[in-house]
Amino acid sequence: MDQAITIGLDIAKSVFQVHGVDRSGTVVVRRQVRRAQLLPFFAKLPACLIGIEACATAHHWARELIKLGHQVRLMPPSYVKPYVKRQKNDAADAEAICEAVTRPTMRFVEVKSVDQQGILVLHRVRLMLMRQRVQLSNAIRGHMAEFGLAAPIGREGLGALIRLIADKDERVPAEAQMCLGMLAAQLALINDQILETDRRIRTNARATEIGRRLMGVPGVGPLLASALVATIPDPKAFRSGRNLAAWIGLVPRQNSSGGKERLGGITKQGDRYLRQLLVVGALAVVRSRSGTERGGHGWSNCWPGERQRSRPSPWPTKRPGWSGRS
């Protein structure tokens, strides 16, 4: 086999597809490799450029291949898709990856470390636990309501229902009491687990200098600071804050043509979780300053667009000669 300079690697769970070309672009290797044979296969090759789609397990394989001396580039799958010719299969995907990784305008994903991925797992598990808590709360409320036991919205109302379950209220049948007791026990366990994840996130955010500096920004707490540090391995990859905002999906969507600009809502591209935390933090800052700095209360006093209220509407609201009364 001639020396491969660039390799496109389509990763999976058990079978991996390899597509390699030499300096002239001639295909020198196109084969499937089993999971157990992947690292030994690349260990025998001289240092080369390896392209991988940034999907599940991509960061793990990138770290392992970097240890073998190879240069690894991760790419968003949506940027690789235009290079797929005709039918989609593993061989075609590997060929497209091999072609895309050599493009000078291609945008790459930074390889995350093990610690950074561990922190992100902490955030993902916390989100999952919070969804499970909502599911259990709704289940308890719904089942108790079937027996005429309704409670107000909020944790206090849910706590009252849980106390009725613990006291074995006579209005609830024995079978339902057993099932509701199981749900209440699961809810208590999940609450403890959420508190533990919150504690670990706070500890991780305060453990780094970048995290402490981020928490000094208004609206940035331990949750957002920890997520930013773990999601963005190298902030220098962005030339400006505007580029970072575009990467997260907080800039207007463009649909311009013929020299005419058309801007819509935000693109919502990038990390949804990070964008959610940033929006919540920004709204918290705006609302907290509504009564102190702007001298008023309410949403209109804290939102920058409030000045538009005094502008006349471009659309007629009344017919000529109409008093507005019916």
DSSP-derived letter for residue 112 is P
Place of tokens 């108790």: 144
Residue whose C-alpha is closest to residue 233's, from 123, 67, 108, 125: 108
CA quadruple 124, 130, 133, 137: dihedral sign: negative
Report pLDDT for 300.
Answer: 47
Question: Cα(48)–Cα(316) distance, rounded to whole angstroms?
Answer: 67
Question: Cα(7)–Cα(323) distance, rounded to whole angstroms?
Answer: 76
Q: Are 84 and 96 in contact (CB under 8 A)?
A: yes
Residue whose C-alpha is closest to residue 233's, from 127, 119, 80: 119
Q: Are 50 and 92 in contact (CB under 8 A)?
A: no
Question: Cα(146)–Cα(69) distance, rounded to whole angstroms?
Answer: 64
Residue 7: strand, helix, or coil: strand
Report pLDDT for 269.
Answer: 85
Residue 221: strand, helix, or coil: coil
- Determine how many CB atoms are found less than 10 A away from the CB of residue 94: 26
244-248 CB contacts, 8 Å cutoff, 24+ apart: 248/274, 248/275, 248/278
Give the Å distances, CA to CA, from 187 to 31, 166, 235, 264. 50, 13, 39, 42
Report pLDDT for 324.
Answer: 42
Compute the CA torsion angle 5, 6, 10, 16 (nearest 10 deg).
0
Strand 6-10 relative to strand 71-75: parallel, antiparallel, unpaired?
unpaired
Tokens of 98: 């091999």
Report pLDDT for 325.
Answer: 44
Compute the CA torsion angle 222, 225, 231, 234 (nearest 10 deg).
-150
What element of type H or E holds 76? Answer: none
Positions of the chain with pLDDT under 70: 1-2, 291-326
Question: At residue 261, what is the residue type?
Answer: E
Report pLDDT for 186.
Answer: 97
Q: H-type helices in 4-88, by residue range?
A: 35-43, 58-67, 77-80
Place of tokens 């809810």: 187
Residue 241 burial class via C-beta count within 10 angstroms: exposed 0-12, middle 13-18, buried 19 and up: exposed
Report pLDDT for 270.
Answer: 85
Question: Cα(240)–Cα(244) distance, rounded to whole angstroms?
Answer: 7
Place of tokens 């073998």: 68
Place of tokens 């027996």: 147
* Residues written for the chain: 326
Tokens of 218: 């208004």
